Amino acid sequence: MNDFLSPLTSLRAGEWFKLICGASFQDLPAIRSLSLIYALVGANCIDVAADPAVIKAAREGINLAMEWAEIVRNKGYPQINKPWLMVSLNDGEDPHFRKAYFDERLCPSDCLRPCESICPAQAILPSGIIEQRCYGCGRCLPVCPLNLIETRSHTITPETILQLLKSNGVDAIEIHTQVGREQKFKELWQQLSPGIKQLKLLAISCPDGKGLIDYLQTLYEIISPLPCELIWQTDGRPMSGDIGKGTTHAAIRLGKKVLASGLPGWVQLAGGTNDYTVPRLKELGLLGSSSSSKPTIAGIAYGSYARTLISPFLNTMETQLISSKITDFPQPFWQALDTAYSLVSPLKGR
């Protein structure tokens, strides 16, 4: 197997892979394991909640991956580069920054609990919701027969982000926004300005909407000049990649729309991405490097699908991580590695 490229080189080559742990996901053992596994198979960026404990867990996983990289390489995997660490914030209400909530005492004893079976994060138990695991997908909301489930949203403050940039070695930030929030975005950007020069990358995540391209052009004017790389994250169908391969169509459709606008910066898909995304992009001729004769997608972010893919192995791995000896790891570790690699490698031309 050939070696994988550094984050910036991967971006320019159209081989950028980002793992989204979730802006509201705070299950520390899972984050550590996810960061470890996907870093070992060549992820270029790992996106986590703007929480010092979460960042610490992701760093532990990444550092362990760098420590074990040569051992894994000797097993036939490519040489890897250290991924960038990203944190997300929002300029207003956003489904990525919420958690589900209900009072379990109000649940009937004979309820079939469809909320529990539909939750992709296994965050719902008879005793209630495990808050750290919930990442706000909202799938439990419409299935509750008594409409007992609500959501609680939160906003990450600029002060929080600036402190994280200063003391936690964060490489990149992602701002979640929506069409029509020009003033809120501008105010947020002005508050973030003291820390912008420390960034290697800025990503702006936005779903589709009427006037989207004009809105993104306005945002570009607000952030210019920018001292780092810029990614437009096209959030096709948020947090849905594990539902089925059809969800990737919304992500590709929105990516094509932003590509056609000719906006400066890279275009990266998200929202509905899964193992069907790369084959479909290749069919359409939309994957390639910056030297391509036509605009192409620079990379893909995988969230719920990437997490669900290796979730069967996480519990075993998390109990073994304390040994910190890769040679002690059971078969599920290597199975998780193989499974994650099967998602990463097609994007990187392997």
What is the per-residue pLDDT across 7-31, written as a single tens digit (0 to 9) for each? Answer: 999 999 999 999 999 999 999 999 9
- The pLDDT, as a whole number, for residue 349 is 79
CA distance 10 to 327: 30
Per-residue pLDDT tens digits for 61-97? 999 999 999 989 999 999 999 999 999 999 999 999 9
* One-letter identity of residue 306: A
- Model confidence at 243: pLDDT above 60: yes
Burial of 46 (0-12, 13-18, 19+ CB in 10 A): buried
Q: Are 267 and 301 in contact (CB under 8 A)?
A: no
Per-residue pLDDT tens digits for 189-217? 999 999 999 999 999 999 999 999 999 99
List, in sequence order, every residue forming a beta bridge with 45; answer none if it has no partner.
18, 84
Per-residue pLDDT tens digits for 214-228? 999 999 999 999 999
CA distance 25 to 20: 10
The values of phi and psi at residue 45, to 5°, are -150, 140
Check residues 81 and 321 and name the one with the higher pLDDT.
81
- Model confidence at 111: pLDDT above 70: yes
Instruction: Grade residue 2 by pLDDT with cuts at 50, 70 and 90.
Output: low
CA distance 202 to 219: 12
- Which two three-digit tokens encode residue 21? 């742990």
Which range (215-224, 249-258, 324-333) has the least confidence? 324-333
pTM for this structure?
0.95
What's domain 98-153's architecture? 2-Layer Sandwich (3.30)
> Domain 3-90+170-347, CATH 3.20.20.390 — does that match?
yes
- Model confidence at 1: pLDDT above 50: no
CA distance 218 to 215: 5
For residues 151-156, average pLDDT: 92
Place of tokens 């404990």: 53
- Model confidence at 321: pLDDT above 80: no
Give exposure, 28-38, as e/b (b: 16+ Cβ within 10 Å).
bbbbbbbbbbb
For residues 47-60, average pLDDT: 96
User: 221 — alpha (psi -120 to 50), left (phi > 0) or beta?
Assistant: alpha
CA distances from 212 to 104, 205, 222, 247 (A): 41, 12, 15, 20
Q: Are 191 and 161 in contact (CB under 8 A)?
A: no
Instruction: Grade residue 167 by pLDDT with cuts at 50, 70 and 90.
Output: confident
Domain ranges of the chain: 3-90+170-347, 98-153
Is the fold of 3-90+170-347 the same as that of 98-153? no
- Model confidence at 298: pLDDT above 80: yes
Check residues 166 and 57 and name the one with the higher pLDDT.
57
Three-state SS for 164?
helix
Check residues 289 and 346 and name the one with the higher pLDDT.
346
Per-residue pLDDT tens digits for 121-150? 999 998 899 999 999 999 999 999 999 999
CA distances from 29 to 34, 58, 321 (A): 9, 9, 9
- Model confidence at 288: pLDDT above 90: no
- The pLDDT, as a whole number, for residue 119 is 96
Check residues 80 and 320 and name the one with the higher pLDDT.
80
Angle of the 28-40 helix axis to the 304-320 helix axis, nearest 10: 100
